[in-house]
Amino acid sequence: MYTVKHYCMASSLDEAYKTLQENRNNILIGGNLWLRMGERRVNTAIDLSGLGLDTIEETDEGFRIGCMVSLRQLETHEGLHEAFGGLFKKALCPIVGVQFRNCARVGGSLFPRFGFSDVLTAFLACDTEVELYKAGRKKICEFAAMPVDRDILTHVLVRKDHRKVDYRSFRMTETDFPTVTCAVICKEGRYSAVIGARPGCARLVEDVPLDDPQDAGQRAGFARKVAAGLDFGSNMRGSADYRRDLSCRLIMRCLEQLEGEVPGR
Amino acid sequence: MLISFIINGKQAKREIAPDTILLDLLRSMGMKSVKCGCDTGNCGLCTVWLDGSPVLSCSVPAARLEGHTVTTLEGLQEEAAAFSRCLADEGADQCGFCSPGLIINVLALEREIEDPDVNQIKEYLSGNLCRCTGYQSQLRAMMKYFGKSQE
Ligand SMILES: Cc1cc2nc3c(=O)[nH]c(=O)nc-3n(C[C@H](O)[C@H](O)[C@H](O)COP(=O)(O)OP(=O)(O)OC[C@H]3O[C@@H](n4cnc5c(N)ncnc54)[C@H](O)[C@@H]3O)c2cc1C
Ligand code: FES
Ligand code: FES
């Protein structure tokens, strides 16, 4: 169980950032679900909930999502649902339960770059940038590969670009952490895939050739090529080989879904 | 630190430590329907409403309550009676430990979604773990409560 000495309801991002840099044991607090399970002795917990960062703004070009938006807000947002064909609902619904997703926030879910993250997998499947208070805007791929430092993730920007995306995850039991997460993207006839929980952090594999998506053999070849470009590891949820096989299977199912061969789940 | 908030329709003021968790605050105020079943954010037994939405009180920092509204099952007794009957009729309250968390979550579903379909019902049910029933009797109770056919 963690302990907290001081609680700072930040009145500006500037104050939050300054307080964060003052002491190694000052931390930002999102939904607090992950944090509170640790043993940290927190000096100052910095709360961003008074800064209006809990909204999703939609324009013709895309979405601007505040870091204190809950996972439940993401999964129930009609604009996101329309733009990405239920991607966020498919990705987020298996995470524990509705009450949990009302608590968990976008910032706390993305910033730690958890290997198992359905949230990171879903955002990698879109044309996404993150806005960091100090480092500025970064492409989500670049952000995913950066070391976790002491910046503040303030917003996530997602562009509407008419892509089609399907999402699958494999879990040993419902609401467990995923063994593998998978998204396949089709944009202007070009195909890419994201695989997460390898168990390392989710990765985007872009523009893998797939001339005829109606051809089952070519779909299997696409899946193998994606998997070949990634490293897989073993842990209590599965071995590297098992994860590689699972990834291929999930990629093929996503492709079938995108090509309209099977009815939706 | 001093916080003021509304609990079950009444204004309250409390002195809390910076790391007080909502669950502990509510229990110290006598709200014993709110229980800690896991302490890892998994079981749903600590569910309360924060500004009308169901949340896990075992994770919410009490310091965040300032100016907000909390509702526990103690404040929903009348509303809870009908679903409690469905649970009993379907044999879904075996040891009964998980029932308060499930009941308040089902009442939240009723408020959020007018006519939930079976998937929406299951989605809500999945946030409440139960060691006894295997969930079928609870699912039947929810289907009955929302007037769904059981086929
Ligand atoms: C039991 C359990 C099961 C889970 N299962 C899954 C799952 O199946 N799939 C999945 O994808 N995820 C899962 N998660 C992770 C979950 O979805 C959240 O991502 C996680 O709880 C963190 O979100 P939070 O809002 O609670 O963040 P917190 O716990 O508050 O914070 C997490 C970290 O992020 C930092 N932080 C918070 N906000 C910011 C910000 N704006 N900028 C920079 N740093 C910030 C905090 O300082 C902290 O280090 C699970 C978590 C738990 C506890
Ligand atoms: S005690 Fe809060 S989810 Fe179990
Ligand atoms: S009835 Fe015993 S835990 Fe659910």
**Residue B39 — very low, low, confident or very high, per pLDDT cuts 50/70/90?**
confident
pTM exceeds cut of 0.95: yes
Strand order in the sheet with B10-15: B10-15, B2-7, B69-71, B47-50, B53-56
Instruction: Answer with the one of B14, B49, B74 that is the final residue of a domain.
Output: B74
Q: Which of B25, B14, B21, B27 is nearest to B41 (CA)?
A: B21
- When pLDDT is averaged across residues B36-43 and rounded to a whole number, the result is 92
pLDDT in the model for residue A1:
80
- Residues B110 and B132 grouped into a single domain: yes
- Residues B44 and B105 grouped into a single domain: no
**All domains in chain A, ordered by first residue:** 3-47 (no CATH), 56-159 (3.30.465.10), 164-258 (3.30.390.50)
Between CA B21 and CA A2 the distance in angstroms is 11
- When pLDDT is averaged across residues A175-200 and rounded to a whole number, the result is 96
The distance between the two most distant Cα atoms of chain B, rounded to a whole number of Å, is 54
Between CA A232 and CA B90 the distance in angstroms is 46
Percent of chain A with pLDDT over 90: 95
Inside any domain, residue B6: yes
- Residues B60 and B87 grouped into a single domain: no
Inside any domain, residue B141: yes
Structure tokens at A119: 């949230």
Inside any domain, residue B29: yes
Instruction: Report the range of poorest mean pLDDT among A127-136, A207-216, A245-254.
Output: A207-216
- Residues B70 and B86 grouped into a single domain: no
B130: Cβ below 6 Å to ligand 2? no
pLDDT in the model for residue B112:
95
State how many domains chain B has.
2
pLDDT in the model for residue B48:
98
- Residues B82 and B119 grouped into a single domain: yes
Q: Which of A39, A6, A44, A50 is nearest to A26 (CA)?
A: A44
- For residue B36, pLDDT beyond 50: yes
- Residues B54 and B81 grouped into a single domain: no
- ipTM for this prediction: 0.97
What would the 3-class secondary structure string for B28-72 be?
HCCCCCCCCCCCCCCCCCCEEEECCEEEECCCCEHHHHCCCEEEC
- When pLDDT is averaged across residues B127-147 and rounded to a whole number, the result is 95
pLDDT in the model for residue A261:
61
pLDDT in the model for residue A265:
42
Inside any domain, residue B48: yes
Q: Do A97 and B66 touch (CB under 8 A)?
A: no
Inside any domain, residue B23: yes
CA separation (Å) from B84 to A80, A108, A109, B97, B113? 36, 36, 35, 13, 19
Distance A169 CA to ligand 3 centre (A): 29
Between CA B35 and CA A66 the distance in angstroms is 32
pLDDT in the model for residue A16:
98
Instruction: Answer with the one of B16, B40, B74 that is the final residue of a domain.
Output: B74
pLDDT tens-place string over residues A85-104: 999 999 999 999 999 999 99
- Residues B16 and B53 grouped into a single domain: yes
Inside any domain, residue B44: yes
The nearest CA of chain A is from the CA of B91 a distance in Å of 23
- Residues B51 and B14 grouped into a single domain: yes
**DSSP states along A202-265:** -EEEEEE--S-TT-HHHHHHHHHHHHHTS----BTTB-HHHHHHHHHHHHHHHHHHHTT-S---
Q: Which residues of B touch A98 (CB under 8 A)?
A: 54, 105, 108-109, 123-124, 127
Residue B94 is part of a domain; what is its CATH number? 1.10.150.120
Instruction: Answer with the one of B24, B55, B74 that is the final residue of a domain.
Output: B74
pLDDT in the model for residue A260:
83
pLDDT in the model for residue A207:
85
Inside any domain, residue B14: yes
- Residues B98 and B36 grouped into a single domain: no
Inside any domain, residue B150: no
**Residue A152 — very low, low, confident or very high, per pLDDT cuts 50/70/90?**
very high
List the single residue in B18, B105, B127 with the smallest CB-CB distance to A96: B127
CA B67 to chain centre: 21
pLDDT in the model for residue A248:
98
Domain residue limits at B107: 76-145
Q: Do B64 and A49 touch (CB under 8 A)?
A: yes
The nearest CA of chain A is from the CA of B73 a distance in Å of 15
pLDDT tens-place string over residues B61-85: 999 999 999 999 999 999 999 999 9
Q: Is A246 on the interface with B (CB under 8 A)?
A: no
Q: Which residues, in sequence order, are bridge partners of residue A64?
A: A57, A157
CB contacts under 8 A, A 95-124 vs B, are 96-100, 102-103
- Residues B101 and B89 grouped into a single domain: yes
pLDDT averaged over chain A?
96
- Residues B37 and B92 grouped into a single domain: no
Distance B41 CA to ligand 1 centre (A): 11
Closest-approach residue (CA) in chain B for A265: B119
- Residues B82 and B136 grouped into a single domain: yes
Residue B58 is part of a domain; what is its CATH number? 3.10.20.30
- For residue A156, pLDDT beyond 80: yes
Instruction: Report the range of poorest mean pLDDT among A11-20, A156-165, A207-216.
Output: A207-216
